[in-house]
């Protein structure tokens, strides 16, 4: 932390729509969950306590859980004790804010030094808490409606105008906006008129103690996968935005072009339905049958980190065909395990993957283009080996401790230059 700045002792982290205690890979739990958990632990290592406020989704959840030393998760009652679609959550923000404010009121004034909100719904709560407590608001978008609407998957619903307005309000009042990459910072400035001096670029990280190279053969044995197979891996939530259908369509094209691949190719998908994907939870099973590749596709539920690392090690390539990613933690985790990544050339994936060194970036989402790229790598094991070595070297440059240290500095800067905006701001 920079000299001459007030020390940050406690951060109130706001995560309305998804709990850091949830398993990433299904529902609304994904990279944001990983980000919040890993950053909170590393901030605690720096002596900064973190309290994470999230909505209570089950009656039997305790009001408070110690997630790790120095990290507390507070379950706030707001609406029914069940998972709600994100479209229904704005109506619960008043109740959530009330619970957050009541918690702070139980303590002496000045309990929190800074608020860090994640996603626009949390930013709305953070905006009002900031004014009530007289502390700065730091906000991370994770995804932005204007960006998502410009890159919609086929059949995906555009984000509503209310979200666009809500995001603009948060941008206008936040003391600092944390962007995952320089490209995201440019989007905040160009699309939302965010002042450049209030935007900080802080790359997410990877847990290098969990995601690291190990025996591919041993990983395949533990997962019950054939030793001689060509394994293409998808990890993430099953929804149009993440585009797992592109991988299945590309695999079908690969087999059509080279029928000998059918006995050797496996497409493994690790994750669960989420978002619009909940409307058709059997999407991948149905699509595989329609494409005639059911025998090639292996579906697995979301996995804890140690098991997920085995999936990465077992694969020849991890495929990330998303229509948009603010960063792409899956790509970084895979590379840390020594598995190259074939990813869409969008958003933060351009930072997470070094094109031609740690993986390959693919322009567009045409299955034929993806099939040619994947086949080219399958047919060149020497090239895969080259990418594998560089993948590890690239990934070790991203660690969560560095992310947390940079965030601590962002917090301190926000504390010295608070942005006071009336509650009547309209955008």
**What is the distance between the alpha carbons of residues 241 and 381, in angstroms, rounded to a whole number?**
30
Q: Is 30 known as a binding-site position?
A: yes
Q: Is 163 annotated as a binding residue?
A: yes
Helix/strand/coil percentages in the chain, nearest 5? 45, 15, 40
260: number of Cβ within 10 Å: 8
Q: Is 55 annotated as a binding residue?
A: no
Give the strand pairing for 265-270 and 10-14.
Answer: unpaired
Report whether 333 belongs to an annotated binding site. yes
- The Cα–Cα gap between 152 and 272 comes to 20
Q: Tell whether residue 123 is among the known ligand binding residues.
A: no
349 and 325 Cβ atoms separated by less than 8 Å: yes
The region, left, alpha or beta by phi > 0 then psi within -120 to 50, assigned to residue 131 is alpha
194 Cβ partners below 8 Å, 6+ apart? 171, 177, 188
* Residue 35 marked in a binding site: no
The answer on whether 81 is annotated among ligand-binding residues is no
- Binding residue per annotation — 23? yes
Task: Say if residue 242 carries a ligand binding annotation.
Answer: yes
Is 313 annotated for ligand binding? yes
Beta-carbon neighbour count of residue 35 at 10 Å? 24
- Rounded to an integer, what distance in angstroms lies between the CA atom of residue 76 and that of residue 46? 27
CB-count exposure of residue 168 (10 Å: 0-12, 13-18, 19+):
buried
- Measured distance CA(367)–CA(32) in Å, rounded: 28
Hunting for tokens 């019950």 — which residue is that?
Answer: 224
Shortest CA distance to 126 belongs to which of 426, 419, 427?
419
CA-nearest of 315, 296, 229 to 256 is 296
Is 422 marked within a binding site?
no
- Per the CB < 8 A criterion, the answer to whether 311 and 303 are in contact is yes
119 labelled binding-site residue: yes
CB atoms closer than 10 angstroms to residue 109: 8
Nearest to 207 by CA among 403, 384, 67: 403
Spatial distance between the Cα atoms of 150 and 158, rounded to a whole number of angstroms: 9
Length of the chain (residues): 427
32 is in an annotated binding site: yes
Annotated binding residue 149: no
Residue 29 assigned as binding residue:
yes
* Helices within 297-399 (DSSP H only): 305-314, 329-336, 349-352, 367-378, 381-395
Q: Which two tokens mark 266?
A: 């496996």
Known binder of ligand: residue 33? yes
Per the annotation, does 237 bind a ligand? yes
Q: Could you tell me which residues are annotated as the binding site for Mg(2+)?
A: 312-313, 315, 339
Q: Could you tell me which residues are annotated as the binding site for 1D-myo-inositol 3-phosphate?
A: 17, 28-33, 86, 119, 143, 163
Q: Could you tell me which residues are annotated as the binding site for UDP-N-acetyl-alpha-D-glucosamine?
A: 23-24, 31, 237, 242, 325, 333
Q: Could you tell me which residues are annotated as the binding site?
A: 17, 23-24, 28-33, 86, 119, 143, 163, 237, 242, 312-313, 315, 325, 333, 339
């Amino acid at each position: 932390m920079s000299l001459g700045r007030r020390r940050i002792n406690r951060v109130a982290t706001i995560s309305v729509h998804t709990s850091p205690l949830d398993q990433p890979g299904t529902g609304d739990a994904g990279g944001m969950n990983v980000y919040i958990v890993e950053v909170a632990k590393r901030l605690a290592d720096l002596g900064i306590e973190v309290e994470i406020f999230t909505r209570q989704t089950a009656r039997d959840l305790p009001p408070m859980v110690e997630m790790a030393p120095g990290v507390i998760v507070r379950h706030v009652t707001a609406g029914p004790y069940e998972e709600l679609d994100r479209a229904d959550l704005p109506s619960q923000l008043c109740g959530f804010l009330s619970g957050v404010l009541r918690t702070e009121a139980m303590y002496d004034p000045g309990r929190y030094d800074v608020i860090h909100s994640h996603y626009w719904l949390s930013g709305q709560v953070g905006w009002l808490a900031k004014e009530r407590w007289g502390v700065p608001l730091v906000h991370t978008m994770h995804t932005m409606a204007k960006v998502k609407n410009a890159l919609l998957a086929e059949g995906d619903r555009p984000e509503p105008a209310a979200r666009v307005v809500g995001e603009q309000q948060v941008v206008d009042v936040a003391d600092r906006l944390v962007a995952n990459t320089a490209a995201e910072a440019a989007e905040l400035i160009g699309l939302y008129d965010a002042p450049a001096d209030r935007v900080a670029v802080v790359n997410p990280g990877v847990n290098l103690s969990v995601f690291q190279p190990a025996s591919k053969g041993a990983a395949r044995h533990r997962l019950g996968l054939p030793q001689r197979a060509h394994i293409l891996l998808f990890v993430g939530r099953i929804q149009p935005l993440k585009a797992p259908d592109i991988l299945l369509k590309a695999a079908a094209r690969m087999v059509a072009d080279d029928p000998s691949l059918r006995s050797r190719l496996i497409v493994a998908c690790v994750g669960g339905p989420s978002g619009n994907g909940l409307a058709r939870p059997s999407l991948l099973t149905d699509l595989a049958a329609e494409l005639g590749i059911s025998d090639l596709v292996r579906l697995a539920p979301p996995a804890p980190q140690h098991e997920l690392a085995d999936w990465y090690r077992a694969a020849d390539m991890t495929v990330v065909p998303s229509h948009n990613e603010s960063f792409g933690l899956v790509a970084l985790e895979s590379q840390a395990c020594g598995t190259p990544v074939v990813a869409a050339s969008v958003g933060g994936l351009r930072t997470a993957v070094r094109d031609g060194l740690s993986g390959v970036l693919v322009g567009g989402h045409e299955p034929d283009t993806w099939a040619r790229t994947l086949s080219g790598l399958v047919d060149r094991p020497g090239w895969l080996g080259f990418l594998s070595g560089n993948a590890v070297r690239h990934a070790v440059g991203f660690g969560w401790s560095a992310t947390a240290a940079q965030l601590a500095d962002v917090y301190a800067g926000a504390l010295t230059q608070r942005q006071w905006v009336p509650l009547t701001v309209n955008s």
